[in-house]
Chains A and B, each alone.
Chain A
Amino acid sequence: MKDRLLLLGYAIAVVAATSVHNPWWLAGGLLVVAALAGRQAPTIGWRALRAVLFFNLVISIGYAAGALFGQAVSLDYLILVNTRVYLLIFLTFSLASKIDILRALSFSRNLSYLVTLVLSQIIPFRRLFEDLRLAAESRRLRRLRLRERYLQSAAAAVHLFDRAEHDAREIALAMRSRGFFQPEATDNAPGD
């Protein structure tokens, strides 16, 4: 229940943050979220800063550069948009650190099963992909040409497809053997 409430609170906070156009209110909201994050606030703040820095710098510099071409440029806008983006990313990182995504999505049985399966599959897939990359790296004597790098990426992708097909069949069998596909168990759609 706590996780669902957190998700709902997050959704409301996000809509509020994008509906308020006063930077002072947004800065106040940021202070509240930072206070709620407690001791994790500096870590989350740093992560959020790194996440927004590049894109926001590009946008802000591009916008400010408009002044060179005689366009009306507002410092208020720069403060507003940067505060809002930082607040939203801070909120998202705070949520990610506090929420148990599987519990938050437990209102739909199939959706939470789906997310469980996805999360359990991502790690082996990433590991496999990294293994393939390292294996290719360890076998090369010279820098690969562009064509060879494409072939290598394509071969890795094909291997991942094969693995995906195999894993999907295995999981389906495992789920069937545990009675997941009984008629009463499949009344919810995967995305409901």
Chain B
Amino acid sequence: MHIPDGFLSPQTYLPAYALAAGGWAYATRELRRRVDETLLPRLAVLTALAFVLMTVMLPLPGGTSVHASGIGILAVVFGPWLTFAVVSLVLLLQALVLGAGGVTVLPVNALAMGLGGSVAACLGYRLLAPRWERAGLFAAGWLAAVVPAALVAVVLGLQPAIAHTSDGQPLFFPFGLSVTLPAVLIPHAILGLGEGLLTVLVVSFLRRR
């Protein structure tokens, strides 16, 4: 999930930029160490792929659908650092070219979706895959949906405590953790089932060939 612009305080997004900058620097170094001269085109094409994967519809019962994130798939296939770099670039382009998301929320969204989601997906996969490959893939997709949602819910839920007036009125996002955690986590825990299923299918198809 994305946080829209304007609901995060500078006390949140400025340190988040510092943290994300460290992550981007490490990701760049890690990728340059592992990948040869195809890094640049590979990163570009995967970013475009992630951009489009985020428009793949996740079918829901009753004929409706929502957008998939594709983070679980990218994390299992390419690892967390490449996924972090790619998702950050997608978010940057969405913010600057399409005007979606926004620059104040970019580092939090990148850290939550790109890093938190992909690390959780990889850990879940590595934990389960040696014995139950499909369960590992499913866990990767589910965690890639739920962990970013949990991180985003925590960041949003802390806003009233971080930034408020002298009489306690919020200045940015108005709801505390008691509201954000269930409101964000419950739908994502359910949508994560679809993301998990899509991860199982896509990665299994990819490995079968």
Chain B positions 1 through 43: 1 when the CB is less than 8 Å from some CB of chain A, otherwise 0? 0001111111001100000000011011101100001111111
B44 touches A171 (CB 8 A): yes
Question: Is A154 an interface residue when CB atoms closer than 8 A count as contact?
Answer: yes
Binds A, one of B127-135, B147-155, B164-172: B164-172
Main SS of the interface on chain A?
Answer: helix
A175 touches B102 (CB 8 A): no
A101 touches B205 (CB 8 A): no
A171 touches B41 (CB 8 A): yes
Total cross-chain contacts (CB, 8 A):
205
Question: Is A135 an interface residue when CB atoms closer than 8 A count as contact?
Answer: no
Question: Is A15 an interface residue when CB atoms closer than 8 A count as contact?
Answer: yes
**Closest B residue to A157 using CB positions:** B202
B175 touches A62 (CB 8 A): yes
**Closest A residue to B62 using CB positions:** A146
Partner of B52, one of A99, A126, A165: A126
B6 touches A84 (CB 8 A): yes
**Closest A residue to B179 using CB positions:** A62
B43 touches A190 (CB 8 A): yes
Chain A positions 153 through 192: 1 when the CB is less than 8 Å from some CB of chain B, otherwise 0? 1111110110011011101100110001100001001111
Q: Which of B77-109 contact A (CB under 8 A)?
A: 77, 85, 89, 93, 95-100, 102-104
A117 touches B45 (CB 8 A): yes
* A192→B6 CA distance, assembly (Å): 27
Contacts of A92 in B (CB 8 A): 5, 95-96, 99, 102-103
Interface size on A, residues (CB 8 A): 74
**Closest B residue to A87 using CB positions:** B6
B7 touches A172 (CB 8 A): no
A89 touches B6 (CB 8 A): yes
B198 touches A114 (CB 8 A): no
A154 touches B205 (CB 8 A): yes
B53 touches A143 (CB 8 A): no
* A176→B40 CA distance, assembly (Å): 11
* A11→B95 CA distance, assembly (Å): 12
Contacts of B168 in A (CB 8 A): 72
* A152→B13 CA distance, assembly (Å): 39
A51 touches B41 (CB 8 A): no
B174 touches A168 (CB 8 A): no
Residue ranges of B at the interface with A (Cβ–Cβ < 8 Å): 4-10, 13-14, 24-25, 27-29, 31-32, 37-49, 51-53, 55-59, 61, 63, 65, 68, 70, 73, 77, 85, 89, 93, 95-100, 102-104, 165, 168-175, 179, 194, 197-198, 201-202, 205-206
Pick 8 A–B contacts, CB within 8 A, sort by A.
A74-B169, A95-B99, A114-B44, A118-B44, A154-B201, A154-B202, A157-B70, A171-B45
